[in-house]
Amino acid sequence: MNSRIMHRLVEQVRRIGHEEMLWSPGDCIVVAVSGGPDSVALLHILHHLAADPELKLRLVCAHVNHGFRGKESDDEAEVVREMARGLGIPFELGVFDVPAYMKETGQGTQLAAREVRYEFLHQVATKYQAASIALAHHADDQAETVLMRILRGSGPSGLAGMRMKRHEKNVELIRPLLRIYKNDLIQMCEKSDIPYVIDSTNLLPKYARNAVRLDVLPFLGQYNSGLTDSLNRLAEVIGVEDDFMQLQAEQAYQELVLVEGGVFTFKLEPFIALHAALQRRLIKLILNYLPLGSEENDFIKIEAIRKGAIQDRPTTWSLDLGSGLRCIREYDTIRFVADAAGSSGLPYTYLVEHFPAEVLVPGTEHCLRFTRNGADMKPVSLDELGDKEAAFDADKLLYPLTVRSRLPGDFMKVIGLNGSKKVKDIFIDAKIPPSSRLQIPMVTDAEGRIIWIPGVRRSAIAVVSEHTSSVLRIVLDTRRFD
């Protein structure tokens, strides 16, 4: 090797690669090379490792010209091309007009450039059937990332910084230099006569990361000369603990959360028994599974859901999550649903004039079956019927009967009460979730009086007695409304 420092860094990266399982023998690795000292150092280090007969790594050098700096960008691309040729490594160049892409998408400089760059790197990885894409982020980059996330108020996952290895699409993104500082990489290039270029935009403080690097870190360094080391240790410690908490959250998810038809549901009793940290993690995991996109204010939503779940009152509420999604508490249940779920459907009315009859309840998989028996019927006990079946004195009913959707102001004459009760209050007393109430039909007689709310309660109308000679039975199928 050309220098002692190169030998040291090669062996350090070899050790990191083995400990973190960044590659396997025979892997093809796409190396993202900008032309700066970090990425050209990475290319040379991996080139030395690739020659190891036990590893036999295959490398591809990939460079992106973002179209920001004209001739400077073109010259930089040629430097990288010549370097790859000298090392005998295949070279792939992506040339893009990122300024035009910014106008098209409305994105800022950094985000637009990143999207274009990563898309190209993935295309190269697919072309060469690569196992991974190697990125040249180093320990100073990690410190900047952690500090930026502290300033944004990130949680533990954010403070863990960049990960040494992360799966994205069909490959691993690996960062073999994440524990190595930039000064060491520059020294390696200079002592080994490895050419590199300086991107002039890295010196512009108008970009947030540059401002942190050029202004914030040096200022804070007055109070802690080892600040960069401290931030890296923070990321290392929190990263491991974050992984552990993620495993706990995934286990809680498997045990508590039910997913049906795109609706995520969990019961409150086992949720409340979790530690607050795990409660937040579980909610965050559910939000990650929902198509919410990037969320900068995750904590506000997560805490609103968590506190709403553990409070005693109110026991029913609804929270708009954005992106057409909503979190709903219904007594002892939390649901994450599409905003349209549970909203009122189209009103319906079905006349029942002949028996037997069967009526499908719109918007559900349930049906009501009507049968009428004569004097040879079996005795009927209201206690035996349960809430899925109702029996009426057929001669005391006014026909035709109607199955209809619920209407505002509906009320029913209830057994045991001298007067009537609002259907809304009946639902509340029975703790019927608001999202289920509009799926429950009303059965009425010819005068519009509600005689039965299937699955909930029957009225005081046409009660079967010892003098009853004909019984009308209405049965709700065995499927539950919830």
- Round to whole Å and give the CA distance between 318 and 54: 59
- The two tokens of residue 104 are 């098209």
Domain with CATH 3.30.465.60 in the chain: 257-338
Work out the average pLDDT over 351-374.
Answer: 84
Q: For tokens 């530690």, what's the residue?
A: 275
Judge whether 363 is annotated as a binding position.
no
Residue-level pLDDT at 210: 85
Residue-level pLDDT at 450: 96
- CATH topology assigned to domain 4-234: Rossmann fold (3.40.50)
Q: Could you give the count of Cα atoms lying within 13 Å of 187 in the half-sphere of its Cβ?
A: 12
Among 3-12, 80-89, 149-158, 265-274, which is the least confidently predicted range?
149-158
Predicted confidence (pLDDT) at residue 322 exceeds the cutoff of 90: no
- Round to whole Å and give the CA distance between 164 and 60: 20
pTM of full prediction above 0.75: no
Model pLDDT for residues 444-456, shown as the tens digit of each residue: 999 999 999 999 9
Residue-level pLDDT at 350: 84
Average pLDDT, the chain: 89
Predicted confidence (pLDDT) at residue 466 exceeds the cutoff of 50: yes
In contact, 205 and 164? CB cutoff 8 Å: no
Model pLDDT for residues 49-100, shown as the tens digit of each residue: 999 999 999 999 999 998 887 788 889 999 999 999 999 999 999 999 888 8
Predicted confidence (pLDDT) at residue 101 exceeds the cutoff of 80: yes
Judge whether 242 is annotated as a binding position.
no
- Round to whole Å and give the CA distance between 17 and 179: 11
Work out the average pLDDT over 121-149.
Answer: 97
12-to-15, 42, 134, 223, 407 alpha-carbon distances in Å: 5, 12, 16, 30, 73
| Residue 7 neighbours by CB under 8 Å, 6+ apart | 1
Residue-level pLDDT at 353: 85
In contact, 32 and 80? CB cutoff 8 Å: no
The helix (run of H) or strand (run of E) holding residue 190 is helix 182-191
Predicted confidence (pLDDT) at residue 424 exceeds the cutoff of 50: yes
- Round to whole Å and give the CA distance between 318 and 341: 12
Residue-level pLDDT at 181: 96
Residue-level pLDDT at 219: 93
Domain with CATH 3.40.50.620 in the chain: 4-234
Predicted confidence (pLDDT) at residue 102 exceeds the cutoff of 80: yes
Residue-level pLDDT at 376: 47
Work out the average pLDDT over 193-215.
Answer: 81
Residue-level pLDDT at 482: 42
* CATH 3.30.70.141 holds for 349-476: no
Residue-level pLDDT at 204: 66
The helix (run of H) or strand (run of E) holding residue 367 is strand 367-373
Predicted confidence (pLDDT) at residue 339 exceeds the cutoff of 70: no
Among 126-140, 260-274, 284-298, 340-354, which is the least confidently predicted range?
340-354
In contact, 402 and 359? CB cutoff 8 Å: no
Judge whether 38 is annotated as a binding position.
yes
Q: How confident is the model at residue 237 (pLDDT cuts 50, 70, 90)?
A: very high
Provide the CATH number for the domain formed by 257-338 in this structure.
Answer: 3.30.465.60
What sign results for the dihedral spanned by CA atoms 382, 387, 389, 390? Answer: positive
Judge whether 36 is annotated as a binding position.
yes
The helix (run of H) or strand (run of E) holding residue 73 is helix 71-87
Domain with CATH 3.50.40.10 in the chain: 349-476
Q: How many helices (H) and strands (E) does the chain have?
A: 17, 22
Q: What is the largest CA-CA distance in the chain?
A: 108
